[in-house]
Structure 1
Amino acid sequence: MDIGRVSVRVGVSAIIVGIVFGILIGYFSRQASDNCEETTHRQDELDVAKMLYDEVDKSRLENNLRILTSSPHIAGSKRDEIDLVKVVSESWQKSGLQIAVHPYEVLLSYPNETDPNYVAIVDQNGSEVFKSSSIERVIDESENHTNVVNPFNAYSANGIPQGDLVYINYARMEDIQYLERDLTINLTNKICIARYGKIFRGNKAYHAEHAGCAGLILYSDPYEYTVKGKAVYPNTWFLPGSGTQRGTLFLGDGDPETPNYPSLDSAWRTPKSKLNVPAIPVTPIGYDDAVKYLSRLSGPKAPTNWQGGLNITYHVGPGFEGSYLNRYNFELSFMKMHVVTRNERKFTHNVIGYIRGREEPDRYVLFGSHRDAWVFGSVDPSSAQTIMLELGHIMGKAIQKGWRPRRTIILCSWGAEEYGFIGSTEWVEEFQKNLASRAVVYINLDVAVIGGYTLYAGGSPSLVDLVYSVTKSFPNPDEDEVDSGRPSLYDSWKERLPDNRTSKDKKPFIRQLGSGSDYTAFLQLPGVSVLDFGYAWDLRQGIDFYPTYHSVYETFDYMTKFVDPGFKYHQVLTRLLAEVGRRLIDYPILPINLEDYGKKIVQLRDKFLLSHATKMVQNGIDIRMFINVTERLHEATKNFQKRVDVLRNKKCLKALEIRALNDQAMQMERSFIDTNGIDDKTNFKHIIFAPGEHDRYSGIAFPALAQSLFDIDTDTDKESRWNEVRRQYSILVYHLGSAASTIRKLAPMQGASNS
């Protein structure tokens, strides 16, 4: 046999087979990419919408909440990390979802069970008097559970500081500045007391620490959590005097020991001495205890807007005055704190449920809420988590009836959110490369149902039009509102929570998001567009938030008696999320409106320049660059939207044409991510929206530039400060120009260098 000739024949045959195979692949690939895909809404889409809407069941939502709130479930506990992980996993699995559980070993914080935290006055004889309660009084049997964790502030430093007491209002920067600059009160080594409200408690601790306070006492003032003349819980939903708000003080996101990276086995951990946690003791108390200390303060009378809801005249201190039954000379007394809080590594778990998409399995629409609560958590977070369980059920039912979602659906149950969005942040840090290229939108719930007065929402400006469109199509659940001529959910929302009450063209208010819940990591790290929803209490009551927030009184009975009897608004929110999500999941062209984003940025620019333009021009900054680049971005978004409208009006499109358009729509949010981080905060990277330096709850526009200008007039080194302003200005202008380039025509690329 001629081996050489045989080899040649075999080789030629292989080549021919390869060519034919290649032609076939090319042909069918071309056929697939050339297939004409309908862009109009098909009847089966409307059928799916109706299936999802009709399947939502109030009794099932109620039962979910009863299970979730049957026992306290603080992060790291067996109840939250084993029992409820099983409940969520089995519920979604039963509905047909594919389940993955992600454990992370993270640093959590707890009070000492045998040596509780307290505060007290030390009298002239060295005795402790008016010692605060370490527990909340059991008012209803539903609160009586052995696993209730005593009130504390997570990640507080330990210590037993003593000193004169000073009232510092909300512990905002302007409050500290008023005391130091206007009243010339030196806060060094003072025990400070502040009321909850206005800003994040972690910022309060940070401000107190940097002002020199030896310790900080936090309390819930009746002004924020009751209504004068009204009864309190258990007769109404308002906070009783022993009610105490727990909460974290951590100013970062995720595991404090592994910033910017997931807490995997391979993770390097920050030494305890370098953690970004308070260096002073901090502890919360109820207003029944707070009045004992505030009523005895000496010093100047507090300003009118510092006066709270206690039946006293508020003074600022420092120190006490007067006597009580001739027994105590309070002028010789001082305040003492006793704080013994431990930090401990524990495992927290995220439960992730998947429904694979048919046409675009590599594009994700995510829904999520956290699972852990400080105590029973009927409002925060279980009103949201029960909706997540119901979403899994109704989507599973729709799949059984024939729904084949276009894109992949991901449902998320996060662990350890209360400590600083830990579960969601660790997961996003681990998978941010995947999410940056695949995630379409993340839809969040947290404090989902606080009442039945009005819908409230926050999110990326590009999604506002979608939310308005859905709510216009939803019937109003409030019969009185329907009788008043407001038949849709949108109508009632616009009336009760407008963006501008004086405008003839008012629309529902949608807040800008910076931080505050599990959407934070999605927006701030990979730049995924986000939405956040809830149903609010009657805003006319004038209270700061729902009254029993993070207290023992937030039970299942509290929800069924005061917040949402009958679970009507749980049902409304479930249906709303399902329909908003369905449109993002199934519409071939994503319902993302970039023109709204461009318009919003121009509005924010004008508002920003109204406050800062004069000062910037006086210091040699050319604000025309800012104006021009935002106008070009706005123009680019309008042109993009025109392209979208043209393509939507076509009867059908090629699959690759749709994919290219959608990718550009997704990319714009990503283009606002500065990989170096905002200022020195590497966990915040979004140059348009991020938390304020002095309140992580509030989202501010152009955060790095805004922060560089904060209080600049009082800085002794103005040259360095203005150099930093110029640096942040150049970074902002670059990113705005970069965003415009991502949504222009694909080739040739056009940017600042060739425009």
Structure 2
Amino acid sequence: MPSDEKPYKYEPLPIPTYEEAVGSSSRASTASNNEANEAAVPAEREGLLSAGDDGRIPEPTRRQGYRPPASVEDYRESMDQQHDTFLNQDAEPRDSDSDDEEARVRREMDELDMEDEPRNSAQSAWGKRISSLSQSLHLPFRWRWKWRINLHVPEGMRERIRWPTIDANFCIILGRMFALLLVMGIVYLLFVSDIFTNAAQRMAGQMFDPESVRVHVQRVASAARIEEHMKVITKNDHLAGTEGDYVLAEYVEAAFAHAGLEEVRKDQFGVYLNFPKVGGRKVEILGKDGAVTWSAKIDEDPIYTDPPKQETPVFHGHSKSGDIKGPIIYANYGSREDYKRLYDSGIETKGAIALVRYYGSQGDRALKVKAAEDVGFIGCIIYSDPADDGFVKGEVAPKGRFMPEFGVQRGAVSLMSWVVGDVLTPGWASVEGAARIPKENNPGLVNIPSVPLSWGDAKFLLQALKGVGQAAPEEWKGGIPDVEYWIGDKSGPVVHLVNDQDEVEEQPIWNVMGKITGVEQKEKAVIVGNHRDAWVYGATDPGSGTAVMLEVVSIFGDLVSKGWRPLRSIEFASWDGEEYNLIGSTEYVEGDMERLRQDGFAYLNVDVAVGGTDFRAAGSPVFKKSLLRVLNRVSDPLKNATLRELWDKRESMLMGLGAGSDYVAFQDMAGTSSLDFGFEGPKFPYHSAFDNFEWMSEIGDPGFTYHQMLAQVWALLILEYADRLVMPFDIAAYSASLIAWAQDLQNYVENKGINSEGNPWSIEPLREAVLQFAVDARQFEKWEDEWDAIVLGGGGFESSILSAHRQSHNTRMANFETHLLDLEEGGGIPNRTQFKHVVFGPQLYSGYETSFFPFIRDAIEARDWELAQKQVIKTADIIKRASRKLVGN
């Protein structure tokens, strides 16, 4: 091997001049050169093997007696001689004149080359390379035959033969034109083959196998990371608009940014909020002389004492301030039916204070207060009875799931089924400078004061009613020990109720937003949301959802860092002010309404992520097929079954939407198909200070296994709607649901006595509309089968034209529910025009409950049959129009 210190050096070979190369006879030159070469070979071979002392290679020499191999020319000459001998055995040998003639012709050819040299000097480098290449080619065998045509040129025909020549510049131009045409042809083929118009747009997302992405998001979901987020989220109380809320907003914003989301920001709105004053809430029993005989504890005992932590006082959000006195009357669950029973029993309610319990036949606490106001009560107290949420049901917190004796359920009493969002800006965003209506006589607020109590406090009020008025019916009796449950009347004990609070009309709240931009339809968006604000620590509501969402954000941020992109954009949102009438999400929707109606493809909401171990979901029927597909992928390791198997075992169904969480503005106002989901259970210490990290880690979800499962479900659902080529909306399921809901509406009307009263009513227009939609839905879904056949039959190739049709198909599918909105001037449910969806929307007194065809049901509840028939026709017309637009008519 060559030495690194003395690399081989080669002497340049002497290049002969033109005259030396052509000036002598080839044969004589060849012979002399061969003799010289024979002498030089030995030294040359020595030089190839080793270098001299100075590192230089010795001059080439040859061994004595070395016989070089015959050259190609020697071989050809020998063959020519044999050939001539074979063909001209009788011919005479060539004389010297012939040799002279040959030499003269050679000199003339040399002169011809010299004369043509200037013309050929412009030969391109490419031509020289071709010539050099042709000269360097050597056959791997010796060709044994040679054809020679001997031309005998007569005397006098010695004229020089000039071959036609082509100007080199013309050749260059011609070559460049050919190259340009070749490039243009390739580019054309690329465009025709959809490389730029379609595939390149999806290149980032399609670099990854979709199934591999799904496997990845399930595999990387981390219970440990979720637990760490939960510790931070529940570290302090974070009521909307407070310092704790703002600090947590910054934490979420930092998590969004760390994950690599785009356009991360805090959106601020100025909204109406109320806050309790220290010592501003009282519930007292007064004696006949007006002296206080008993005072309610009201607030919960501190959960943390070493070190102590601030805990949100017990109060009702959006409650009415007041200082009132009146007799206490027990009214069961505070439903309109319960108040009617009081009236039918002859119990006077005007000027009295209602005592009602949570849950029951009226689940919405605001409507309990509103119904009390409507029948003349001047105040309302709501408590948690152990028969509904306490020791009667099972072990209480902190060791169990149910409310302890002095645990209190906080909550808002704003009328979200009447006005949703900031009650001072119904229908428009609460941005700086926005017009605001007064809070006095506001349709979204109750007009009597209210406070929540524990059953430990309510016990003394109920005991004070013993023997007053009428004994409560059996179904009105709760589970408080040592209480007989009497109703009371105007002669009963007088209660002093005080609700003194701070009321701020433009209190700042903060939504935190982040985004992943899609690569195919980047303007189309799948919105993912969870609210951040809590009444106290909020481990379950909403901390479990916030912690899971931050893990989902981390998962997708990791995918983006690896180069993945979805087909459609994904927008993540941490809403503020949800506990106060769904303010944050509603203000966002009202401020971006037109874009969401046009480009909002789906909204995926998680409020309580883990409140138990049973998966539940409510939403638009379009999610049915894809939801079940996702549940089939996720397993419950504690029950050794997939979530789909457990879902089927419980005979669960995709429920309809009420008005209980942040999906309301998306589904009912913007027409963006919405899904709300999570794990539920019997109960948890709802809206109390007992809903904290310790409770979640020890009782709610030890090991955070169900949090991890929900992260998988959420991430997979996002991929379904943001990254499938064809949106997996189940239009057939929507059609089947409409048929069932129309029949349910007819049953509802018949239960109201429509036939016996002879009122003008016909459901036929609605029935015809939903049946026509069923036909159109089947036609619409056939396109997907055709697309599958074309693309899969073509080896996965999708042309740009077919891609455009697919995107149009997706858009029409996603906009179907937008077309179910009543967008005429003044459109919407009469007197509640924020709600515009003719299929989904809360009834006037249904609150959290699921309701379908709210336009029609409100009119029926009001016994206005003429209006009800008009609403049937309007609803039918809107469904028909949406159906036609779905199929492109």
Tell me if both proteins adopt one fold, taking TM over 0.5 as the criterion: yes
Q: Is the partner of 1:76 in helix, strand or coil?
A: coil
1:194 aligns with 2:365: no
1:733 aligns with 2:876: yes
1:243-254 equivalent positions in 2, closer than 5 A? 243-251=407-415, 252-254=419-421
Tell whether the 8 Å contact from 1:294 to 1:314 is kept in structure 2 after alignment.
yes
Tell whether the 8 Å contact from 1:374 to 1:418 is kept in structure 2 after alignment.
yes
Tell whether the 8 Å contact from 1:156 to 1:341 is kept in structure 2 after alignment.
no
Tell whether the 8 Å contact from 2:601 to 2:815 is kept in structure 1 after alignment.
no
Q: Which residue of structure 2 aligns with residue 752 of structure 1? A: none
Tell whether the 8 Å contact from 2:386 to 2:393 is kept in structure 1 after alignment.
no
Check 1:44–1:643 CA distance in 2 against 1; reply closer, same or farther (3 A cut). same
Question: After alignment, is 84-93 or 155-164 more displaced?
Answer: 155-164
Q: Which residue of structure 2 aligns with residue 184 of structure 1? A: 346
Q: Which residue of structure 2 aligns with residue 476 of structure 1? A: 636
Tell whether the 8 Å contact from 1:143 to 1:552 is kept in structure 2 after alignment.
no
Structure 2 CA distance for aligned equivalents of residues 61 and 411 of structure 1: 17
Structure 2 CA distance for aligned equivalents of residues 477 and 610 of structure 1: 43
Tell whether the 8 Å contact from 1:613 to 1:623 is kept in structure 2 after alignment.
no
Task: Give the partner amino acid of 1:110.
Answer: F
1:85-124 equivalent positions in 2, closer than 5 A? 85-98=249-262, 99-113=264-278, 115-124=279-288
Q: Which residue of structure 2 aligns with residue 308 of structure 1? A: 478
Question: After alignment, is 115-124 or 227-236 more displaced?
Answer: 227-236
Aligned with residue 495 of structure 1, among 649, 652, 664:
649
1:292 aligns with 2:460: yes
Structure 2 CA distance for aligned equivalents of residues 174 and 143 of structure 1: 48
Q: How many residues align?
A: 677
Q: CA shift at 1:32, angstroms?
A: 7.1
Tell whether the 8 Å contact from 1:241 to 1:286 is kept in structure 2 after alignment.
yes
Check 1:41–1:632 CA distance in 2 against 1; reply closer, same or farther (3 A cut). farther
Task: Give the partner amino acid of 1:239.
Answer: M
Q: CA shift at 1:234, angstroms?
A: 2.7
Q: Which residue of structure 2 aligns with residue 394 of structure 1? A: 555
Q: Is the partner of 1:164 in helix, strand or coil?
A: strand
Task: Give the partner amino acid of 2:646.
Answer: S
1:356 aligns with 2:517: yes
Q: Which residue of structure 2 aligns with residue 568 of structure 1? A: 705
Question: After alignment, is 305-314 or 608-617 more displaced?
Answer: 608-617
1:669-684 equivalent positions in 2, closer than 5 A? 669-675=817-823, 676-684=827-835
Q: Which residue of structure 2 aligns with residue 648 of structure 1? A: 788
Aligned with residue 514 of structure 1, among 650, 654, 658:
658
Structure 1 CA distance for aligned equivalents of residues 851 and 411 of structure 2: 23
Structure 2 CA distance for aligned equivalents of residues 96 and 42 of structure 1: 19
Where do 5+ consecutive residues of structure 1 fail to align? 1-20, 321-330, 499-507, 540-544, 713-720, 750-755
Q: CA shift at 1:125, angstroms?
A: 2.0
Q: Which residue of structure 2 aligns with residue 430 of structure 1? A: 591
Q: CA shift at 1:347, angstroms?
A: 0.5
Q: CA shift at 1:650, angstroms?
A: 2.7
1:356-395 equivalent positions in 2, closer than 5 A? 356-395=517-556
Structure 2 CA distance for aligned equivalents of residues 26 and 174 of structure 1: 74
Report % sequence identity: 29
Q: CA shift at 1:476, angstroms?
A: 2.7
Tell whether the 8 Å contact from 1:36 to 1:655 is kept in structure 2 after alignment.
no
Q: CA shift at 1:49, angstroms?
A: 1.0
Structure 2 CA distance for aligned equivalents of residues 666 and 636 of structure 1: 15
Question: After alignment, is 273-282 or 557-566 more displaced?
Answer: 273-282
Check 1:186–1:650 CA distance in 2 against 1; reply closer, same or farther (3 A cut). farther
1:710 aligns with 2:861: yes
Check 1:180–1:33 CA distance in 2 against 1; reply closer, same or farther (3 A cut). farther
Q: Which residue of structure 2 aligns with residue 418 of structure 1? A: 579
Q: CA shift at 1:295, angstroms?
A: 2.1
Q: Is the partner of 1:218 in helix, strand or coil?
A: strand
Tell whether the 8 Å contact from 2:760 to 2:865 is kept in structure 1 after alignment.
no
Q: CA shift at 1:628, angstroms?
A: 1.3
**1:213-256 residue CA offsets vs partner (Å, 9 max, x unmatched):** 01000111111112428442233232111111111111121111
* CA-atom RMSD in angstroms: 2.4
1:155 aligns with 2:318: yes
Q: Which residue of structure 1 aligns with residue 437 of structure 2? A: 270
Tell whether the 8 Å contact from 2:298 to 2:454 is kept in structure 1 after alignment.
no
Q: CA shift at 1:626, angstroms?
A: 2.1
Structure index of larger Rg: 2
Q: Which residue of structure 2 aligns with residue 171 of structure 1? A: 334
1:632-643 equivalent positions in 2, closer than 5 A? 632-643=772-783
Q: Which residue of structure 1 aligns with residue 611 of structure 2? A: 450
Q: Is the partner of 1:341 in helix, strand or coil?
A: strand
Aligned with residue 749 of structure 2, among 594, 608, 612:
612
Q: Which residue of structure 1 aligns with residue 673 of structure 2? A: 529
Check 1:142–1:222 CA distance in 2 against 1; reply closer, same or farther (3 A cut). farther
1:137 aligns with 2:296: no
Structure 2 CA distance for aligned equivalents of residues 253 and 101 of structure 1: 22
Check 1:337–1:35 CA distance in 2 against 1; reply closer, same or farther (3 A cut). closer
The TM-score normalised by the length of structure 1 is 0.86
1:225 aligns with 2:389: yes
Q: CA shift at 1:374, angstroms?
A: 0.7
1:281 aligns with 2:444: no
1:207 aligns with 2:374: no
Structure 1 CA distance for aligned equivalents of residues 635 and 878 of structure 2: 41
Structure 2 CA distance for aligned equivalents of residues 180 and 642 of structure 1: 58
1:593-604 equivalent positions in 2, closer than 5 A? 593-604=730-741
Structure 2 CA distance for aligned equivalents of residues 350 and 668 of structure 1: 28
Tell whether the 8 Å contact from 1:143 to 1:555 is kept in structure 2 after alignment.
no
Structure 1 CA distance for aligned equivalents of residues 476 and 669 of structure 2: 38
**1:406-435 residue CA offsets vs partner (Å, 9 max, x unmatched):** 111111001111101111111111111111
Structure 1 CA distance for aligned equivalents of residues 216 and 394 of structure 2: 44
Structure 2 CA distance for aligned equivalents of residues 294 and 732 of structure 1: 48
Q: Which has the higher contact order (CA 8 A, sep 6+)?
A: 1
Tell whether the 8 Å contact from 2:620 to 2:675 is kept in structure 1 after alignment.
yes
Tell whether the 8 Å contact from 1:119 to 1:131 is kept in structure 2 after alignment.
yes
Question: After alignment, is 641-650 or 275-284 more displaced?
Answer: 641-650
Where do 5+ consecutive residues of structure 2 fail to align? 1-183, 792-796
Q: CA shift at 1:663, angstroms?
A: 1.2
Structure 2 CA distance for aligned equivalents of residues 535 and 602 of structure 1: 29
Q: CA shift at 1:494, angstroms?
A: 2.2
Task: Give the partner amino acid of 1:303.
Answer: P
Task: Give the partner amino acid of 2:476.
Answer: W
Tell whether the 8 Å contact from 1:589 to 1:648 is kept in structure 2 after alignment.
no
Q: CA shift at 1:515, angstroms?
A: 1.3
Aligned with residue 627 of structure 2, among 449, 464, 467:
467
Structure 1 CA distance for aligned equivalents of residues 635 and 207 of structure 2: 22
Task: Give the partner amino acid of 2:424.
Answer: E
Structure 1 CA distance for aligned equivalents of residues 507 and 563 of structure 2: 42
Q: Which residue of structure 2 aligns with residue 662 of structure 1? A: 810
1:549-588 equivalent positions in 2, closer than 5 A? 549-588=686-725
Q: Is the partner of 1:689 in helix, strand or coil?
A: coil
**1:677-701 residue CA offsets vs partner (Å, 9 max, x unmatched):** 2121122211111112113111211
